[in-house]
Amino acid sequence: MNNIEKRIAELTKELNYHNVKYYIDDSPEISDFEFDKMLSELENLETQYPEYKKSNSPTVRVGGEAVSSFVQVHHDVPMLSQQKAFSKEEIIDFDRRVKSVIPNATYVVEQKIDGLSVSLEYVDGEFARGSTRGDGLTGEDVTENLKTVKTIPLTLKDKLSYLEVRGEIFMSKDNFQKINAFMETTGQPLFANPRNAAAGSLRQLDPKIAAKRNLDIFIFNIQQIQGANIETHIHGLKFLKEQGFKTILDMKSYNTIEQAYERVIEIGEERGELYFDIDGAVIKVNEVALREQMGNTAKFPRWSIAYKYPAEQKTTIIRDIKVQVGRTGVITPLAILDTVHIAGSNVSRATLHNLDFIREKDIRVGDSVVIQKAGDIIPAVVEVIKENRIGTEKVFKMPDCCLECGAPIIREEGESAYRCTGVNCPAQRLRNIIHFVSRTAMDIDGLGPSIIEQMLDRQLIETAADLYYLHTDDIKDMDKMGEKSASNLINALEKSKSNPLYRLINAFGIRHIGEKAAKILAAEYKTLNNLINASIEELTALADIGDKMAQSIVDFFSREQTKQFIKRLENAGLNCVDTSEQMLIDNRFEGMIFVLTGTLETFKRSDAEKIIENYGGKTSSSVSKKTTYVLAGAEAGSKLNKANSLGITVISEAEFKEMIK
């Protein structure tokens, strides 16, 4: 072993050791700085000498290459679900069934983690494969994503020839709140609950995305083992902990079902204080040999049962209903409550979702209501106690204008949400500016969410237009900045002034208008001023611009806030004219509209669209009577069906090649 290979092995061993001390034992021995320094050294060595990199190197924690799809995995030991109980009587019945077969059985009780069940397989002490439960018999190979979970050991203490364990991937409550806050900031759909977030994160095709989600795991069962003899469940958990796993918390056995049920009740009382979600408690037979004696049904083990907790409910009074503006402009009614303690915390507010929800339940200010925490996290109103009304309750009315900026509030047809229309609304500033500078919009390098937040906090900017009036001295003292970075950012802003017009149109964040529609509008109207003065009739005459889009464009440019915003951009010197030149080869496709669907073998879809435009044609994302041709590749779906139903000519990739010869 040469010096390089030896150093890589030393760093790998050290990092694996400190990873366990930090994430499993909760007793770190070195600082984060020292850990990161060692990790950086290992990354550099592996980059220079890839032949010495191990498949389970600590550097895989940050994520590897993305995959195109997940491979199916057959579970040799089925990953069964749990039989469920909702009352003490059902627990007593379970005990009766167990004791009729094995009178001397003892029990263990565990929190039932509300997450995603996975299998982890180790060969010769090395993490070899990880998979989802799936239907219990067949799951998906998510090995690369599971490698990013820092509480999963990549190398065991002992070189067991084979080990398969089962655990529950979850997301902590704090981490869930942080991720949803970021998703809201960037205008992405929010996760409904931590379990939903954990499942969505684990099934990302790009492991780098999974790595950023900071998933966690509890191991709760040995599925298969070679190289060790495990007699009881508690023995197994202690053995797994020695190997480097983060195991389920409880390690105590109970001689009677009464004792076990008492622990179930205790767990229910503790769940509000836990940093992770649980949706019940599981009672299991402790002795492994006795489990094998009882066996399984086709769906669940006969030796365990899950007690499901009912959602805790409390009665309180709605003192007021206020509205708050989300960072995407959605107006959400919020009930202000008399404070009650529920599921481990004091609650004084509850979401009312939207006006339809309020009307459906007939919720009024002054009502007595029953509330519970949806998923044990978000307080929600379950029902109104109408018999408690005394006649002074007030019906809620949605305001006409945004309380933050004064802009009109609208509700579009077919939607339940009301939205603020203000381009300068303080509640939407961060999200609007993040979109304005994003890659598909003005593409300003070095201007991420944290920098924008600092600028807003320091009152350096109020809108995206203010970015173009900043100077190096204004921003050089911000966190993660400095003279050089500040200068680079000002240069990037200056460079963006000459961006194509379509980028500016897309950067406005006009509802229903994305990059493709922005390109269509820029090419058709040539100047921003022409677009500002366009009518709904003119806009709907364009391919791919529908009624909603046209109305949204006209409404956006008619607002006073928008006019002031654009004036400030023009004064800063931004390009407001379409200067792009289409490389027209000939006009053989003039007047024709193509729709592309399915997977093309020899063209990227964007390249095919460019070819069509270079021959004078246009492309559309939807099939209509105006469509001339549908270019269909492999696995074409609903667009192909619609083309056939309308009698639109469908062409293959080979036929398209003939047309462009």
Q: Which of 112, 147, 246, 373 is catalytic?
A: 112
- Return the bridge partners of 74, or none: 138
Of 84, 85, 80, which Cα lies nearest the Cα of 119?
80
Residue partners of 366: CB distance under 8 A and separation at least 6: 317, 318, 319, 389, 390, 392, 393, 394
Q: Rounded to whole angstroms, how far apart are CA atoms 431 and 453?
A: 10
Q: Rounded to whole angstroms, how far apart are CA atoms 448 and 534?
A: 34
Q: Rounded to whole angstroms, how far apart are CA atoms 307 and 368?
A: 31
Q: Is 141 exposed, middle or buried (0-12, 13-18, 19+ CB in 10 A)?
A: middle
Beta strands (DSSP E) in 294-392 are 304-308, 313-325, 330-342, 345-351, 364-365, 368-374, 378-384
Q: Rounded to whole angstroms, how far apart are CA atoms 448 and 185?
A: 12
The DSSP-derived string for 79-100 is -----EE-SHHHHHHHHHHHHH
Residue 581 burial (CB count, 10 A): 6
Residue partners of 201: CB distance under 8 A and separation at least 6: 145, 171, 209, 210, 213, 215
> Annotated catalytic, 112?
yes
Integer-rounded Cα Rg, in Å, for the chain is 30
3-state secondary structure at position 447: coil
- Both tokens of 456, joined, read 């807003």
Length of the chain: 661
Of 195, 190, 141, 236, which Cα lies nearest the Cα of 332?
190
Active-site amino acid positions = 112
